[in-house]
Structures are given as C-alpha cells and as structure tokens.
Amino acid sequence: MRSDTLRATLWGIGFTAVLGALIVLGSRRLAHFDAALVGYTFATLFATFGITYRYAMWLSRPPTRMYWRRGWRAFATRRLPANLVRAVRRAVVEVALNRFIFRRGAMRGLAHFLLMWGCILAAAITFPLVWGWIHFETVPGHLEVYRAYVFGFSAGEFPVASAPAFIVFHGLVWASFLVLAGVMLAFRRRMRDRSAEAVQRFGEDILPLVLLAAISITGLMLTISYTWLRGYAYDFLAILHAITVIVTLLWLPFGKFFHIFQRPAQLGVGFYKDEAARGEQARCKHCARPFAPVAMIRDLIAVERELGFRYELADRATHYQEICPACRRALFGLAQGGLWTVSKS
C-alpha cells in the first residue's frame, strides 16, 4: 500500500472512530439511540470514512497540497486579525450567499442557493436525531408539553400545539420544499440551456438531482401518510425513504456532492492569491511586461516538475510558464507556421 493511501486510510478510520464515539457519548451510551435508525447511522459512518479518505487523497495531490500549504501560510501571517475578518466575510458572501454562483446567472445562483440551504437544514435536523444527540420527551404530568434534550441535557420546553413546535417538527418539510424548488430550477436550466445540455453527464449532473428529489418526495409522502391518510402505506414509504437516503449517503464520497467538502478550501486559495498579488510580479521573458505574481509562477513550475512535466524552452534558460499568455499564443502560431512551411517543402 502506498504511503498516501495508507495515510488517507488511517485518517478515514480515525474520523469514523471519533464520530462513532461521539454517537455513543451524545446518546448517553445509546440510551437515546433509536435502533430503527441503525441503517442511517451505518451509512453516515461509511460516508464519513469515504469523505475523509477521498479528502486526504485529494490533499496529497501536488497542486492541491501546494495551494493548501500556501493558503494556510498566507492566512497565518502578521495580518491574522484582518485575515480572520476577511475569512468570515468571504465565508458569508461567497459560500453562504453563493455569490460565486450568482455571478454565472441569477437563476443558476437561486437554484444552487435553494439546494444548498435545503440540504443544510435537512442535515442539521436529521443527523443529530439519527445519532441520538437530540430527542424529545413529554413533561411528566403535562402530556401537552414537550421537553427537548441535547446530548442528554434539557434544552427547553414548548407546548405541542404551539407555533414553534409546528415549525420545528416540520423542519424537514420546509427543507424538502427548498430542495424541490432548487431541483426544478436546475432541471429547467439543463433542459433549456444548450451549452449546459451539451456537456452534462448523467452521473455528475442528473443523478444528484434525481437523488435529492427522491429523498424530498418520499419524505413528503411520509408526512402526507401520517397527517392525512391515517398511516396508509407508511411502512412501505418509510422503507423507500430509507433506501433513497442510505443510497445517497453511500454515494456521497464518490459523486458530485463531494464538492461540498472541497469548496471551503477555496477560502485559503483566495488568501494565497491575495498574498501573491502583493508581492513581486513576474515579467514575461519575451515582451518584458508584468503578467502574474512571481510566487505563483514559481509554485506552478515546481508542481509541474513534481508531476513529471518539463516545459523548458529550447534555450533551457526560459520556462514556458515565464512567458505571458499573449506571447504564448504568438509563439504557438509561429511554431504552427514553421511546421506548415516544413511540410510544404
């Protein structure tokens, strides 16, 4: 087994073991753990191992490792207090509010925003309940009052028939509405946008939307069954819903949803780019015009050499990355012209 594979495996086992221990501790030694949800629990444990393993392997790649180290180094400079403020601002604006997606189109941004916050709301409700970290009990002598427990500690009481109770107990319904709205907008774009239709793939673009829609629809059908149909087909719907959720959790480390865990790393990349932009600028070896930070060019050359790519020009004193994009295009055209002349002769 290669060293990076072994390291990623150990990280995966470690995170999975920590989550397992937290489940046991948070549920008070499984006293508040619902055995009917054991399938969900094992699926989340598997997903934790898979996500951690893939993330560790992703970080072991030379380009990612370079950005990761440089990002943390740029963040932990003497500007640390200012960097903390910028990190929070970027996390809110770029990640939470999805500005990086809204730049590509309003409808595309809205679809991503609804999907993201619907999934976050559903996860924030589902996982603590599945792991036994949160549970509810009726107050002795007051059957119309519920008491919420978090990690076994009382966290407040509220009447069953109150508005807060209605909002809390239907949290997954609101999450399903958000997700379905996002799924419909996403499908609308993929059916109407020819550029998206030309490059989309089933496994990367269609299947994630189908899985999210299946989870939301089967979850809403469960609510409809016990609210208005007196539990009609509830057992079948519960099994169907469990299958869709478990399949999605098992597929989570391997499909497009993995970008959920990659995206926060973009914050560190931003600090690296900012730090490099404040430093010395590289000048093109052909036209002498500045075109990129010296630090980024140097790191890019180092990564390429680590990957086995060497793009030194004929004189061996100039690297291809030390040429600005405009001159690269000109040199490419000259090279093609030279080959055409040779072939004609």
Model pLDDT for residues 145-160, shown as the tens digit of each residue? 999 999 999 998 999 9
In this structure, the answer to whether residues 244 and 319 fall within a common structural domain is: no
In this structure, the answer to whether residues 334 and 233 fall within a common structural domain is: no
The verdict on residue 301 lying in a domain is yes
Calpha distance 60→50 (Å, rounded):
15
The verdict on residue 305 lying in a domain is yes
* Domain end call among 243, 269, 295: 269
Domain hosting 307: range is 280-344
The verdict on residue 185 lying in a domain is yes
| pLDDT value, residue 180 | 97
In this structure, the answer to whether residues 10 and 130 fall within a common structural domain is: yes
pLDDT at 345 over 60: no
* Domain end call among 269, 304, 328: 269
In this structure, the answer to whether residues 91 and 45 fall within a common structural domain is: yes
- Count of structural domains, the chain: 2
The verdict on residue 117 lying in a domain is yes
In this structure, the answer to whether residues 254 and 331 fall within a common structural domain is: no
In this structure, the answer to whether residues 241 and 334 fall within a common structural domain is: no
The verdict on residue 274 lying in a domain is no
Contact 234, 228 (CB under 8 A): no
Predicted structure pTM score: 0.86
Least confident window among 11-15, 297-301, 331-335: 331-335
In this structure, the answer to whether residues 118 and 265 fall within a common structural domain is: yes
Q: List all residues 6 or more positions away from 229 whose beta carbon is below 8 Å from its beta carbon.
A: none
In this structure, the answer to whether residues 287 and 181 fall within a common structural domain is: no
pLDDT in tens, 291-329: 889 988 998 888 988 888 888 876 667 788 888 988 888
* Domain end call among 269, 297, 324: 269
In this structure, the answer to whether residues 311 and 216 fall within a common structural domain is: no
In this structure, the answer to whether residues 188 and 334 fall within a common structural domain is: no
Angle between helix axes 38-60 and 62-75 (nearest 10 degrees) is 90
Contact 269, 67 (CB under 8 A): yes
The verdict on residue 275 lying in a domain is no
pLDDT confidence of 341, banded at 50, 70, 90? low
In this structure, the answer to whether residues 252 and 297 fall within a common structural domain is: no
Nearest to 298 by CA among 315, 314, 276: 276
Angle between helix axes 38-60 and 3-26 (nearest 10 degrees) is 150
What are residue 28's phi and psi, to 5 degrees? Answer: 55, 60
The verdict on residue 140 lying in a domain is yes
In this structure, the answer to whether residues 50 and 157 fall within a common structural domain is: yes
